[in-house]
Structure 1
Amino acid sequence: MAWKIERWLAEVFPGEEQVYLEYRNLPPRELVIVSAAVLDSALAELLSLRLMDLPKEAEPFLGVDGDGRAPVGSFGARIQAALLVGIIVPEDAALLRQIKSLRNLFAHRARVDFVHPSAVKITQELCRLWIKRSAALFNQSEEFIGTTLQEIKDNLSKDEAAGIGLLLAIFSVYQAYFHRMHGRIERLGNALSKPDSVLN
């Protein structure tokens, strides 16, 4: 087995200060699809750091060998697995699932943009979830965060730049957040190898 998808930290992550600069000039459809792909590869890498150190088992399980049919080979499955092994919290999972929905919309429709009614519905929910999550991440009140995001929120149905800005903000923060987590993730151990196991 070999790791065939891009390695997030070594090949994709441009550095905390460069994230916004690297992605801000992408066309909207490309921004949505690429940002979801980058977050997906980040979750795959973080999960690989969390699972037991058995690459021959973990790589095909995670689908990093290029097999999208793997048990954890899709963005949705990686979100769920990351939540279940404690890499992300339910609020992160909800946000990432909205980004996945936006990615699916942009990937499977020929004519769609950020002011398309289906996209607006997703970005409005994304904004609502982001207000709650960023308040916790930045230790601010939801009212304060909501006030600063109000202009974006008010323009989601009218101005494509509002949806783009919202996605870029969330994407940039998650890139930095995952980068900080990267060195802190602890591997799962073998529960039966502990001296107080049920076999003793």
Structure 2
Amino acid sequence: MGADDLHASLDQADLDQADLDQADDHIVAGRAADGDVAAFAVLVRRYTPMMRAYTRRILNSSTDVDDIVQEAFVTAWQRLPELADPGKVKSWLMRVASRKAVDRIRASRPQVSVDHIEHPAPEHASPPRVTETRARVDALSDALQRLADPERECWVLRELGGYSYHEIAEEMDVSVSTVRGLLARARKHIIVRMEEWR
């Protein structure tokens, strides 16, 4: 290969990268699923800020955010070929990050030996209160699992992800009025299921 051929090849690579940076999620995620590292790097650049903000919101702290986002991308790289609709990669990545964050919360629950407890626990950490809180979280989790998939996705994006109605509509490829209906049904269902915890 001559110098001119090499320059032409490099120019084409730069052009391809620029095109890839501008391509929609369906194309980028599709190429990444086929093993294109450059395409996956575009997804990482595109969604790291959102995933960091989302993870920080779940954890209520920034200590483990970068680790969790990195773990989420490792899992995404491994499981991207399983994604049925590459155009939904954004919400899929958010779900992966959410699971990683929840796993981290569960793993970091303090293990305290009862032999070393000398002082009464504060009211919010007393065994009855902890049991009640866990039961409430389990009840909410159960209520969410009983929602139809679109209602659950809509509720999670709004209540946990902080998405606007327009962002949810764009993400789910539905109208804003559909988003309002899905959220109304999801909230009504959750209120009914959580009535005993009010």
Instruction: Tell me if TM exceeds 0.5.
Output: no
Structure number having the greater helix percentage:
2
Highest RCO, 1 vs 2 (Cα 8 Å, sep ≥ 6): 1
Is the radius of gyration larger for structure 1 or structure 2? 2
TM-score (normalised: structure 1): 0.28
